[in-house]
Structure 1
Amino acid sequence: MSASNKVLVVDAGNTSVKWAAFEQDELTYISRDLQLGHLDADAVNLLSLAPERIYFASVRGDEDEASLRKFIHQSFPDASCYELKSQRMSCGVRNAYEDVSRLGIDRWLTVIAAFDATQDTVVIDAGTALKVEFVDANGQYRGGYIVPGQIMMENMLVEKTGKIRFNDEDLVNYQGQINNTGLAVHIGCWEMTLGLVERVLSQHQTSRFVFTGGNGKKIMQALKIQAQYEPHLVLKGAKKLGDEWVNQE
């Protein structure tokens, strides 16, 4: 069976749900929602919403996934829905995990989307968590790292200590002097992020680097890195994997 022309990709990430419309391989619309079971009117009108297929990728818990699954089926009853999962091999990439079901689908999709058969690739996904992924030119995914992202690190310091407290006003008008607790936490966590990325850069100098996630471009600018920035890597990986599944039917 050939892949359909109209596809809706639903990416349920840690902090938001993205709804992305594809016509052929062109990404034509994205809606980002902070709540479950919600689709803005603009997106509904754009698609009518008449996707032939829906590719659903989620890193949420079972309850959230069930709510989203119900909403999808109620909203688009005529569309075929594919729930994407990590596999042993997909789209020319071989999985390094012994138990492939334990690899988050978001990580698998970024690797699939970034894979380049001409050179080794490193993906830096700077979102809620900071994730680093390695895939070589032969299509061997070699695993990677997961550490807390900027906001998560800051929140953990507040939640796990008794007296580290600050507010947004502490972060205003920074002039190079770290003169309050908020700046100490914020800048310290940021330097940790940059330090990890710098180390990865130094260890993989001949690799191609692809950045994604909300802080991806900010990291590139801070370190003056000449690399590719792709904000929709998970969505494009989902489209690629979903199409492969359909074509194999």
Structure 2
Amino acid sequence: MRLFLDIGNTAMKWRLNLPDGGCRQGGHAHQRDWWGLAAELAQVCAQQPPAVLWVGSVAGREADAELAQALKAVLNVTPRFYYSPATDLGLRNAYADPARLGVDRWLAVVEAWHREGAAIIVDCGSALTIDAVDADGMHLGGYIVPGLTMLRTSLFRGTAQVRVTDPVSTSLAPGRSTSAGVENGVLRMSVAFITDVVVELRKTLTDTCPVFMTGGDAAVLQPHLPFAALADADIVLDGLERVVAAGASGEEPA
């Protein structure tokens, strides 16, 4: 069996490929409790330990080393970590220092390009990121801004009276309470940013270039966008599976 992990800043996903060709998968928020995570995965693999374990992580090399230690001790398998390379599977990384590009962004770009060619990928996680790849497989770079939760938090930290104190139905309309003003405001900021970037990128790519949406807040943002987008919660895991199937070497963090 093969186990794949997508470790984000605040959330993780796993996928276990079964011998019969099926798979199981899940995920949740994490608090960087790597030993707890390893114990959870041991329950997932209770019937048979994985023969192969691959990880795409943006937690940082020190955290990756701790995670690797926990996984190896609990699951008795040495995990392989995939980091963003300069080139892979026909794509070229825009970063001068390729490994500095978050591997989640790179894997989403790889998967989107192999499915559609030129594409735009919007990842709505702790940070909101937008990346683009052209038809020739050149990663054009991207943008990183605070996600919805981070925007709210920064507002709360800088003001004494602005708080979300009651649940509200979000929309792009002006809020009629402080809570609605905050929720609608951060939503509108993010929708406006995504829309502006997609419109500009489509001038460089094509005006029908597909847009992929992923990340925990994708379902919140997608209905408010003025263009169609393809929801894909598992595009990073799909990309990790693709590069592994193609023979990625990976590494074990020290």
The residue that corresponds to 1:84 in the other structure is 82
Deviations 1:7-33 (A, max 9, x none): 111222111222221248854322335
The residue that corresponds to 1:31 in the other structure is 27
Q: How many residues were matched structurally? A: 240
The residue that corresponds to 2:220 in the other structure is 218
1:73 & 1:42 partners in 2: Cα distance? 12
The residue that corresponds to 1:231 in the other structure is 233
Deviation at 1:193, TM superposition (A): 0.6
Deviation at 1:247, TM superposition (A): 7.9
Deviations 1:183-219 (A, max 9, x none): 2222111101110122133231221111111222332
Structure 1 position 115 matched with structure 2 position 113: yes
For structure 1, list consecutive stretches of 5 or more residues without a partner in the other structure: 1-5
Deviation at 1:83, TM superposition (A): 0.9
Q: 1:133 aligns with which of 116, 131, 134?
A: 131
- Aligned partner letter, 2:131: E
The 3-state SS of whatever aligns with 1:139 is coil
The residue that corresponds to 1:3 in the other structure is none
Deviation at 1:49, TM superposition (A): 4.1
Q: How does 1:165-184 map to 2 (within 5 A)?
A: 165-169=162-166, 171-172=167-168, 178-184=175-181
Find runs of 4+ consecutive structure 1 residues off by over 6 angstroms. Answer: none
Deviation at 1:69, TM superposition (A): 1.3
2:169 & 2:147 partners in 1: Cα distance? 23
1:173 & 1:212 partners in 2: Cα distance? 22
Q: Matched residues, percent identical?
A: 27
The residue that corresponds to 1:9 in the other structure is 4
Structure 1 position 51 matched with structure 2 position 46: no
2:89 & 2:233 partners in 1: Cα distance? 20
- Aligned partner letter, 1:196: F
1:158 & 1:117 partners in 2: Cα distance? 41
Cα separation, partners in 2 of 1:200 and 1:246, compared to 1, 3 Å: closer
Question: Contact 1:129–1:149 (CA<8 Å) still a contact in 2?
Answer: yes
Q: 2:13 aligns with which of 18, 26, 37?
A: 18
The residue that corresponds to 1:186 in the other structure is 183
Deviation at 1:136, TM superposition (A): 1.1
TM-score, structure 2 as length reference: 0.83
Question: Contact 1:117–1:139 (CA<8 Å) still a contact in 2?
Answer: no
Deviation at 1:138, TM superposition (A): 1.2
Cα separation, partners in 2 of 1:26 and 1:107, compared to 1, 3 Å: farther
Question: Contact 1:134–1:142 (CA<8 Å) still a contact in 2?
Answer: yes
User: CA RMSD, aligned part only?
Assistant: 2.7
For structure 2, list consecutive stretches of 5 or more residues without a partner in the other structure: none
1:106 & 1:84 partners in 2: Cα distance? 10
Deviation at 1:43, TM superposition (A): 6.6
- Aligned partner letter, 2:2: V
- Aligned partner letter, 1:125: D
Deviation at 1:151, TM superposition (A): 0.7
Question: Contact 1:57–1:106 (CA<8 Å) still a contact in 2?
Answer: yes
Deviation at 1:173, TM superposition (A): 6.0
Question: Contact 1:109–1:237 (CA<8 Å) still a contact in 2?
Answer: yes
Question: Contact 1:123–1:133 (CA<8 Å) still a contact in 2?
Answer: yes
- Aligned partner letter, 1:166: R
Deviation at 1:123, TM superposition (A): 0.6
Cα separation, partners in 2 of 1:165 and 1:55, compared to 1, 3 Å: same
The 3-state SS of whatever aligns with 1:85 is coil
2:69 & 2:82 partners in 1: Cα distance? 16
2:68 & 2:170 partners in 1: Cα distance? 45
Deviations 1:93-120 (A, max 9, x none): 1111111121111111111111147541
TM-score, structure 1 as length reference: 0.84
Question: Contact 1:52–1:80 (CA<8 Å) still a contact in 2?
Answer: no
